[in-house]
Amino acid sequence: MTSTNVNQLATAPVNGEAPSRPSDFIHDIIDEHLRAGRYQGIVTRFPPEPNGYLHIGHAKSICLNFGLANDYGGVCHLRMDDTDPTKESVEYVESIMNDVRWLGFDWQGKMFYASDYFEKLYRFAVKLLQEGKAYVDSLNEEEIRKYRGTVTEAGKPSPFRNRSVEENLDLFERMRRGEFADGAHVVRARIDMANPNMKMRDPLLYRIRKAHHYRTADDWCIYPMYDFAHPLSDAMEGITHSICTLEFENNRELYDWMLEACGFSEPRPHQYEFARLNLNYTVMSKRKLLQLVEEKHVSGWDDPRLPTISGLRRRGYTAEAIRNFCRAIGVAKANSTVDMAQLEHAIRDDLNQKVPRVLCVLRPLKVVITNYPEGQTEELDAPYYPHDVPKEGSRKLPFSREIVIERDDFMENPPKGYYRLSPGAEVRLRHGYIIKCDDVIKDTAGNVVELHCSYDPLTRSGAPNAVDRKVKGTIHWISVQHGGPVEVRLYDRLYTLENPEGITDLNPESLEVLSGSVAEPSLAMAEAGSRFQFERQGYFCADAVDSKPGKPVFNRIVTLKDTWARMNEGSPKTAATETKPAPKQPVPPAPPKGRKPEARELTPEQEATAKRLREAYQLSGEDAVLLAESQPLTQFFEEAVKTHANPAGIANWIVNELLRELKEREISALSFGPKELAELVSLIDDETISGKIAKDVFAEILKSGGSPKAIVEQKGWKQISDPKQLMPIIDRVVAASPENVARFKEGKGNVFGFFVGQVLKETGGKANPRLVNELLQQRLSQ
């Protein structure tokens, strides 16, 4: 066998995948439309807003939309949904184009920008105003919210609803010319303020926003809203099937209204909703990802720990693995959370047969082969594909007197069944000889620093005259003189919780950098982006940014242990759309609650304030110090406590949530005051809302102020604390999962959490968790 350059192997092109067409409800719908001759051809679109990098959830949508175009010989447009000037940029546009291409899809020249339609959209709004189907409203945001009513109460018409057409047209034109300040007026559709669907209660079409747009610069100071721009963009581009995620279900009625009102007749686009992808142990909202990047909890949008496409790519995922994953999870109408282990399974499955197997010792322990002549080297024949694949290629592995092995592969006092090295025991060196451990060398502190072993010259692997002697363990190794240093980056889950809420749930051990690892000589010149299996360790990829020939850096893509495959033994690979109970994997302990900002040295006055806060409100020392640091903050806290007497709860929100926000802006610039924060805490305390929903309410008031009570009302976020309402959901969840009921009855307590999670999910996080716990206990013990 001749030696093969490892780079040729590791960067070999990926194989094609089976082009079988998935079957799901969207394919069924399209089949039906084509049968009925409703459309000439199929046109879909992928419409990201360029306000962040794409993530694996977007990949699901991309695979679906571009996949449909491929399946039906149609086309999928790539459209930048860039109607919000404040958060968008060219950098994001470019990253999106790059990611879609990398995933293997082609928009066939059909790249569009919603911002290119601004003039046309303006014309449509004028038409609606002329026909009395829209009006200029001059209520402020807060008033508009109040007038809109709640899910249980009809809204009432704005006093501006009956402005004359002339006045409306005049105001709209002046809005465009920039005569009014942000928020002074909006344009709304005139639909129905009592419609049971809140989205139909005169939705906003335009708002004033004096902001620079990355493409239209300062041409516009009014910007169209999603519910206006989106359907019209679809219709103008001749989209047939406008596919979005389930949150938009209630917008569908509005989508149809808008197209009708603007004069688009059939055949016109229609909206269909599918369940978004959720993955456990990570976050998938662009807002949260942006926060991780901006606050430098990760190294950038392409940090290999992120679920972004660029992060996964840098980590070493292949496009094919991601496409296979998206195909395997399928497209359904019910929200669910997919186990991270399933994504990991997809990359293992893809790399298993493709990439060469090489040796690298991550945490070395020196071994001297005492009976091997000093200064001698021999070359062992080592195939790159030692397993059962019809792929060839090998390299020569130098062996000499001093080698390193994995520290874990030696134990001084091994338990029964340990087949690696221990005093007096034998193991085989991969592709080499059997060695025996004769002596253990320790430093003065008693740490093992070196082993003395002897080798059996008659046992060389593959040698024609080798004696056939079996030992139970085989370990990897590297010749000290020949091996090269490599940096290895080991990644673990980004969050400690399956369903993380925020940065307080980050896993402090998600990245471990090993600087003392030693790899076989062939890896020294590894090309950036090339992938390998490090035998017994996992799949690794030379980092695209930091790895240089001669100075390689490897990312661990994934370990070898496939928990997902084991959980699903015997079940077909594709039927994995429902939630799987989490695999039992060691999860590192949660970080100290809150990981609060560092408290600094205090002045004597601050010291005194801290003491007073501690004593008057029974606060923890740490909270008191943080609150005492700034006088406005102390005041904010004390004001809030006056409204709602839960000092500890309020302090907790300020320290864990608000302080983070105050890094960006002054307390006086917040869109809410102490009263609102107190109100929020009181809503949690009286169990009107869950802690999880409270975070959403907090995000709302941060963004646009308002009363938490009103927000909860308006959004229908009230916690469900009525057993009569919860019981049917619990019954359904329990009935849907007889295997887990059985496991529960066998005393496997950890499935209880699964049931709680399901019920919470079914209620959109609104069920009272305490009550769910209670009712589930009752239900499951029946």
Active-site positions read 49, 276, 286
* Binding-residue pattern over the window 230 to 269 for ligand ATP, x denoting contact by CB under 6 A: --------------xx------------------------
Span from 145-153, 277-285, 509-517, 564-572 in contact with ligand ATP (CB under 6 A): 277-285
The neighbouring-strand residues paired with 255 are: none
Q: How far is the CB of 156 from ligand ATP (least distance, A)?
A: 30
Q: How far is the CB of 189 from ligand ATP (least distance, A)?
A: 21
Owner of token pair 């303006």: 122
Residue of 390, 404, 643 whose CA lies nearest to 519: 404
Which of 11/336 has CB closer to ligand ATP? 336
How do beta strands 357-358 and 336-338 pair? unpaired
307 near ligand ATP, judged by CB under 6 A? no
Angle 584-569-60 (CA atoms, 0-180°, nearest 5)? 80
Q: Which residues contact 592 (CB under 8 A, 6 or more apart)?
A: none
Span from 285-293, 538-546, 685-693, 747-755 in contact with ligand ATP (CB under 6 A): 285-293
Q: Which amino acid is at 330?
A: G
Which of 211/284 has CB closer to ligand ATP? 284
Which of 276/452 has CB closer to ligand ATP? 276
The C-alpha atoms of residue 594 and residue 656 are separated, in whole angstroms, by 6
The one among 188, 252, 286, 305 contacting ligand ATP by CB under 6 A? 286
Which residue of this chain has its Cβ atom nearest to ligand ATP in the complex? 57
Q: Which amino acid is at 782?
A: Q
61 near ligand ATP, judged by CB under 6 A? yes
Span from 33-41, 52-60, 596-604, 702-710 in contact with ligand ATP (CB under 6 A): 52-60
Q: How far is the CB of 286 from ligand ATP (least distance, A)?
A: 4
The C-alpha atoms of residue 637 and residue 642 are separated, in whole angstroms, by 9
Residue ranges in 554-603 assigned as alpha helix (H): 563-567
Please give the sequence-ordered ranges of beta strands (E in DSSP) within 466-567, or none if there are none. Answer: 474-475, 477-479, 484-491, 511-519, 531-534, 538-542, 553-558
DSSP 8-class letter at 655: I
The C-alpha atoms of residue 708 and residue 702 are separated, in whole angstroms, by 11
The one among 140, 164, 285, 750 contacting ligand ATP by CB under 6 A? 285
The C-alpha atoms of residue 168 and residue 130 are separated, in whole angstroms, by 8
* Binding-residue pattern over the window 418 to 457 for ligand ATP, x denoting contact by CB under 6 A: ----------------------------------------
Size of the site for ligand ATP (CB under 6 A): 15
Which of 60/185 has CB closer to ligand ATP? 60
Contacts 24+ apart (CB under 8 A), 205-212: 205/125, 205/128, 205/134, 206/125, 206/172, 206/175, 207/182, 207/183, 208/175, 208/180, 208/181, 208/182, 208/183, 208/184, 209/84, 209/85, 209/86, 209/182, 210/178, 210/181, 210/182, 211/85, 211/86, 212/85
Which of 249/456 has CB closer to ligand ATP? 249
Q: How far is the CB of 581 from ligand ATP (least distance, A)?
A: 21
Q: How far is the CB of 249 from ligand ATP (least distance, A)?
A: 12
The one among 12, 169, 284, 471 contacting ligand ATP by CB under 6 A? 284
333-372 residues in contact with ligand ATP (CB under 6 A) are none
Q: Note whether 341 and 583 are within 8 A (CB).
A: yes
Residue ranges in 316-359 assigned as alpha helix (H): 319-329, 340-352
Tell me the three state secondary structure of residue 203: coil
Q: How far is the CB of 139 from ligand ATP (least distance, A)?
A: 26
The one among 60, 395, 428, 493 contacting ligand ATP by CB under 6 A? 60
Which of 113/399 has CB closer to ligand ATP? 113
Owner of token pair 């397993």: 387
Contacts 24+ apart (CB under 8 A), 295-302: 295/503, 295/660, 297/503, 297/506, 298/494, 301/52, 301/53, 301/95, 302/53, 302/545
The one among 6, 9, 39, 58 contacting ligand ATP by CB under 6 A? 58
Phi, psi of 610 (to 5 degrees): -60, -45
Q: How far is the CB of 531 from ligand ATP (least distance, A)?
A: 26
The C-alpha atoms of residue 698 and residue 696 are separated, in whole angstroms, by 5
Which of 187/283 has CB closer to ligand ATP? 283
The one among 76, 277, 322, 733 contacting ligand ATP by CB under 6 A? 277
What b/e string do you get for 419-453 counting C-beta neighbours within 10 Å, with b at 16 or more? Answer: ebbbeebbbbbbbbbbbbbeeeeeeeeeeeeebbb
Which of 60/493 has CB closer to ligand ATP? 60
716-745 residues in contact with ligand ATP (CB under 6 A) are none
Which of 226/419 has CB closer to ligand ATP? 226
Residue of 37, 545, 86 whose CA lies nearest to 299: 545
Q: How far is the CB of 318 from ligand ATP (least distance, A)?
A: 20
Owner of token pair 């399974």: 345
Q: Which residues contact 348 (CB under 8 A, 6 or more apart)?
A: 539, 558, 560, 562
Q: How far is the CB of 55 from ligand ATP (least distance, A)?
A: 7
The C-alpha atoms of residue 124 and residue 129 are separated, in whole angstroms, by 9
Which of 244/712 has CB closer to ligand ATP? 244
The one among 10, 30, 47, 155 contacting ligand ATP by CB under 6 A? 47
Q: How far is the CB of 46 from ligand ATP (least distance, A)?
A: 6
The one among 10, 26, 48, 437 contacting ligand ATP by CB under 6 A? 48
Tell me the three state secondary structure of residue 155: coil
Q: How far is the CB of 235 from ligand ATP (least distance, A)?
A: 16
310 near ligand ATP, judged by CB under 6 A? no
Residue 2 exposed, middle or buried by CB count within 10 Å (0-12, 13-18, 19+): exposed
72: its two tokens: 């039906």
The one among 6, 44, 49, 436 contacting ligand ATP by CB under 6 A? 49
Question: Helix, strand, coil % (nearest 5) of the chain?
Answer: 40, 20, 40
166-205 residues in contact with ligand ATP (CB under 6 A) are none
Q: How far is the CB of 61 from ligand ATP (least distance, A)?
A: 4
Which of 169/290 has CB closer to ligand ATP? 290
649: its two tokens: 């709860």
377: its two tokens: 């080297």
DSSP 8-class letter at 340: H
Span from 46-54, 165-173, 433-441, 638-646 in contact with ligand ATP (CB under 6 A): 46-54
Which of 367/576 has CB closer to ligand ATP? 576
Q: How far is the CB of 277 from ligand ATP (least distance, A)?
A: 4
Which of 282/758 has CB closer to ligand ATP? 282
The one among 27, 146, 276, 611 contacting ligand ATP by CB under 6 A? 276
The C-alpha atoms of residue 763 and residue 721 are separated, in whole angstroms, by 11
State the residues that interact with ligand ATP by CB under 6 A.
47-49, 57-58, 60-61, 244-245, 276-277, 284-287
